[in-house]
Amino acid sequence: MELIEQGETLPLIFIVAVLYYVGQVAIAHNLQLKKWGFRLSLLTLTAYVLFEASWNGIYDTTTLLAIVLRGLILAGMALGMSWIALSALDLLFAPLGRLNRSWQTAVTRWQYNRGQKQREREEKERRRQEQDEWERTAPERERQQQEQQQAEAQRNAEQLQREEIRLSCQLLYDQHAPALLTRFPRERLAEYFEQYLSDGFPIEIVEQRGKLLEEMIASSLEQTTGNKQKFASLNEIAEYFQEQKQEIDSLNYDDQTRQSFLSSLNLQEDRAIREFLSS
């Protein structure tokens, strides 16, 4: 500062040049340190000018130029020395920075591994709980599956029964279709099937209505033919219908057709017995 105040300009410029060169070599290509050096240099220039202006005052342009020149020389020296000092500090603390980064990396890796192991334990525990729950509910699932299978089998059996009831009525009608067409047309039978014997009704109702339909077909047949069989005794009734059943058994009918005819004969036999007893 005294050299600057005394006006030894050339030696000072030489010192600034030396410091600048050494500082450039010291910081090499470290742009961050170079920026900090410029900041310190600018701060030094500003502080010196403000100090001179407030302490000694600025009375003319010559004084101002002298203060600025001395400030630039001082800023140049500060720039070179700051680069040298910053490079020395960087050289000193760089290993500590690397050590700190290594420590941070190790801590981060340890935390990650710890979290990963915790997640693996939680996932393992979750799978174990799911397995335990699966094994615990296995009997209930088997029971529900059996119930579903039984319900499905029951539905299939009931559907088959509905189809057999409709088939029995259809075969009974087809057996006597020529005599029934006038009093009981085929379209009417189809309407009965659709309205009263469809798959939407419970099997019990379909069975009951199927029997009623067979009785109605038999009654319509008797009213149409007008040749109702007259019986003198119960034995005669039994013998007559037994002969009819034997005749049906002797014919080459499939099981469903034969069963339909036998059901029709049973209905007619029951009706004949009731009429005989009521007469």
Residue 22 lies in a domain: yes
Bigger pLDDT: 175 or 170? 170
Residue 196 lies in a domain: yes
Q: Which residues contact 249 (CB under 8 A, 6 or more apart)?
A: 258
What domain range is 199 assigned to?
159-228
Q: How confident is the model at residue 48 (pLDDT cuts 50, 70, 90)?
A: confident
* Same-domain status, 52 and 97: yes
Q: How confident is the model at residue 182 (pLDDT cuts 50, 70, 90)?
A: confident
Q: How confident is the model at residue 6 (pLDDT cuts 50, 70, 90)?
A: very low
Residue 273 lies in a domain: yes
* Same-domain status, 75 and 16: yes
Domain count along the chain: 3
Two tokens at 107? 């801590």
Residue 223 pLDDT > 70? no
Highest mean pLDDT among 33-37, 155-159, 222-226 belongs to: 155-159
Residue 154 lies in a domain: no
* Same-domain status, 42 and 59: yes
* Same-domain status, 279 and 190: no
Q: Which residues contact 274 (CB under 8 A, 6 or more apart)?
A: none
Residue 89 lies in a domain: yes
Residue 72 lies in a domain: yes
**Torsion angle, CA of 19/21/22/23, rounded to 10 degrees?**
80
The model carries a pTM of 0.41
* Same-domain status, 26 and 43: yes
> Amino acid identity, residue 137?
T
> Amino acid identity, residue 181?
L
Q: Which residue among 228, 251, 269 closes a domain?
A: 228
Residue 51 lies in a domain: yes
* Same-domain status, 15 and 58: yes
Q: Which residue among 120, 138, 172 closes a domain?
A: 120
Residue 127 lies in a domain: no
Neighbours of 246 (CB within 10 A): 9
Q: How far apart are CA 125 and CA 119, in angstroms?
A: 10
Q: Which residues contact 25 (CB under 8 A, 6 or more apart)?
A: none
* Same-domain status, 215 and 258: no
Q: How far apart are CA 20 and CA 41, in angstroms?
A: 11
Q: How far apart are CA 155 and CA 13, in angstroms?
A: 110
Q: Which residue among 58, 93, 120 closes a domain?
A: 120
